[in-house]
Chain A
Amino acid sequence: MVGLINAIPVANKDEYKNVGVYIEHRGDDIKRSSIEMIGIGKQLARKINEKLICVVIGDKVDGIAKEVGEYGCDIVLAAESPDLAEYRTMPYAQIIGDYIAEYKPNIFLLAATRNGRDLASRIAVKERTGITADCTVLDVDENRTLLANRPTYGESTLAEILCRNHRPQMATARPGTFTPAEKEKDHKYEIVKKKVNVDKSLLGKQILKFIPKKATDLTAAKIVVAGGLGLGGPDGFKLLQELADLIGGAVGSSRPPVDLGWITRDHQVGQTGQAVRPDLYVAVGISGKPQHIAGMKFSKVIVSINKDPNAEINKISDYIITEDYRKAVPALIDAIKNFGKQKVAEAQKA
């Protein structure tokens, strides 16, 4: 507990070195979002010739620690205890706080998953430092200052936020923002393992049950085929699924179909859903409310299929098909299926 006290600038900033990343996992699986944070963390560390230090906490974490090293981390701090088998805020925050006090990282990053957010600002307050949430661009300058860029409301403006005098400089990024690190052959790393005795006073939270659910991670999809109120009912999503399956995409939704129960919430794109930036976004029967656009407007190519020629989403679309989707989507499916054949037929004719 930090007490009711102010954030405090550090006396000697040079004491703080290296880039720290918190690694989130469920059992033996590292979250993809944490591999993304290794990716950006490594990039920042190497730019200023510093080390990447990752923190892994759990019951048995040897396998994960090794994998983190293979992704290009230089020092893996592994804390083990049977009491740490499941993520709990209090003991995890304590251990990370202890590591920060010992290793004094200049920068500390976490993925903005729900448990990542649960932990992030708690650690920032514990360390009496600043934190910038949901960064989309992270860089470091020659003074080793973290340049944390985050979109402000509605993603129309990018704010560059600095934490000048407090350390570590902390930031989070939403899943899907950065490219995951790739494993590096022959990368040398060190694992510093520690058996922890967790203070019983930190173990008050009882986890009664965990019910896994199948979640659609749209942030990893290169293609998203999304439907809106214009689908007219849940059956429309079957057609979208057919198109998505054909081109290796995932099915998304604007908010109204989710609220109406046509599709589950894990498919929702937008401000209160997932933010995506795929290569292709096919918006079917989506009018384009600002809340939806905020979650998909960085898609490379946008195709809008909508009966309304004045749908807002058309203003940010590459291809606008003003048709009933029941006609347009099958036509698109056919065109994709027959595209190659046609070419071959033409070539044969010639």
Chain B
Amino acid sequence: MLNIVVMIKQVPDSSEVEIDPVKMTLNRTKARNVVNAADLNALEYALRIKDKVGANITVISMGPPMADAAIIECMARGADRGILITDRAFAGADTYPTGLTLAATIAKLGNVDIVFGGDETTDSSTGHVGPGVAEFLGIDQITYAKEVDYEDGYVIATRDLEDGDEIVKVHTPVLVTVLLNSNVPRHQSLRKKIDAIRKGVESWGINELGLKPEWVGLRGSPTIVRSMKAIKEPEHLHKTITLDKIDEVVADLVSKNIIKVGGK
């Protein structure tokens, strides 16, 4: 039977993030925590492979203890096992130690055929963790997949690139990152949710993974944030214009050399 790992992350729900009307900044504190949307698309493809040929699906996530809710949700959709990678030492990690910690988890699980993840998370959107994990594990990767199938030891997937669709075939083991909205994730089932809560989420820390404290989290991160500053945004006129005054808009755009008028 195939062993599949799905990497997920709990993030603030971006559709609930409110805009501060005065500062025009985003207020994240009111948002609910959800499973990163593309990770659910990744889980769905894992479940389709399970439906087709049978598989053990393990969902892993690095995060604070409360992220176990996200893992339970994935088990309620059909994943078999959930592991939360949680330790104070992991806090403040950039993409390098994040990838290292996830790869160490996958290596400890052993004999993994396919590693799935979302193409990127909505809260940091680097898309860097997936390929990083593949490099740590020394396996090939398929990124930005919008269709994924499995047949006789191979993953066949369609990569969505800016200038076209690329159809690739890679023998397992392979890491696949799945494009947001590329499928419709199945619903949670109440029975599976009850099973998941009974079964519970395992919790692994730095000792279980055999990593050194100076390798992970903030200490293990090659990059540091030196400063944060509010982005100075362009000033806007906020002028209300009625249709009989629409010439004013055109005149302004012409004077700023943005549009040209008077014949081509």
Residues of A within 8 A of B (CB): 1-7, 9, 26, 89-90, 93, 113-115, 117-122, 124-126, 128-134, 148, 151-166, 175, 204-213, 215, 217, 222-223, 247-248, 271-272, 279-280, 290-291, 293-294, 297-303, 309, 312, 314-323, 327-328, 331-332, 335-337, 339-344
Q: Is the CB of B254 within 8 A of A122?
A: no
Name the residue of chain A whose CB is nearest to the CB of B154. Answer: A206
Which residues of chain B are near A129, meaning CB under 8 Å? 96, 222
Which residues of chain A are near B163, meaning CB under 8 Å? 26, 212-213, 215
| A312-B142 Cα distance, complex, nearest whole Å | 39
| A337-B259 Cα distance, complex, nearest whole Å | 11
Residues of B within 8 A of A (CB): 14-15, 17-19, 21, 23-26, 28, 94-97, 99-100, 103-104, 107, 122-129, 131-132, 134-138, 140-144, 156, 159-171, 180-181, 211-212, 214-215, 220-231, 233-234, 236-243, 246-247, 249-254, 256, 258-263
Given that A280-B259, A297-B233, A339-B250 are contacting pairs, would A161 and B225 also be in contact in the complex, using a CB cutoff of 8 Å?
A: yes
| A259-B125 Cα distance, complex, nearest whole Å | 21
Which residues of chain A are near B227, meaning CB under 8 Å? 159-160
Q: Is the CB of A131 within 8 A of B231?
A: no
| A217-B231 Cα distance, complex, nearest whole Å | 25
Main SS of chain A's interface residues?
mixed
Q: Is the CB of A320 within 8 A of B239?
A: yes
| A279-B162 Cα distance, complex, nearest whole Å | 23
Q: Is the CB of B97 within 8 A of A7?
A: yes
Q: Is the CB of B167 within 8 A of A318?
A: no
Q: Is the CB of A6 within 8 A of B168?
A: no
Q: Is the CB of A125 within 8 A of B243?
A: no
Q: Is the CB of A1 within 8 A of B138?
A: yes
Candidates A121, A293, A316, A322; contact of B129 at CB < 8 Å: A121
Q: Is the CB of B261 within 8 A of A290?
A: no
Which residues of chain B are near A153, meaning CB under 8 Å? 26, 28, 123-124
Given that A89-B131, A159-B227 are contacting pairs, would A4 and B236 also be in contact in the complex, using a CB cutoff of 8 Å?
A: no
Given that A7-B96, A114-B143, A204-B170 are contacting pairs, would A121 and B128 also be in contact in the complex, using a CB cutoff of 8 Å?
A: yes
Residue of B25, B168, B171 most packed against chain A (CB within 10 A): B168
In angstroms, how far is the closest chain B Cβ from the Cβ of A51?
24
Which residues of chain B are near A209, meaning CB under 8 Å? 165-167
| A117-B262 Cα distance, complex, nearest whole Å | 44
* CB-defined A-B contacts under 8 Å, sample of 18: A5-B100, A120-B131, A121-B127, A121-B128, A129-B96, A157-B230, A159-B225, A161-B223, A208-B167, A209-B165, A271-B125, A299-B234, A301-B256, A316-B233, A320-B241, A331-B246, A339-B261, A344-B262
Q: Is the CB of B234 within 8 A of A117?
A: no
Q: Is the CB of A339 within 8 A of B251?
A: yes
In angstroms, how far is the closest chain B Cβ from the Cβ of A290?
5
The 3 A-B residue pairs whose C-beta atoms are closest, nearest first, are A340-B262, A1-B138, A130-B222
| A6-B101 Cα distance, complex, nearest whole Å | 10
| A319-B237 Cα distance, complex, nearest whole Å | 7
Candidates A118, A160, A331; contact of B143 at CB < 8 Å: A118
Q: Is the CB of A126 within 8 A of B131?
A: no
Candidates B14, B24, B164; contact of A315 at CB < 8 Å: B24
Which residues of chain B are near A279, meaning CB under 8 Å? 256, 258
Q: Is the CB of A208 within 8 A of B99?
A: no
In angstroms, how far is the closest chain B Cβ from the Cβ of A191?
26
Given that A130-B94, A210-B166, A303-B249 are contacting pairs, would A318 and B19 also be in contact in the complex, using a CB cutoff of 8 Å?
A: no
Q: Is the CB of A320 within 8 A of B168?
A: no
Name the residue of chain B whose CB is nearest to the CB of A288. Answer: B19
In angstroms, how far is the closest chain B Cβ from the Cβ of A78?
22
Which residues of chain A are near B253, meaning CB under 8 Å? 280, 301
Candidates A3, A6, A280; contact of B220 at CB < 8 Å: A6
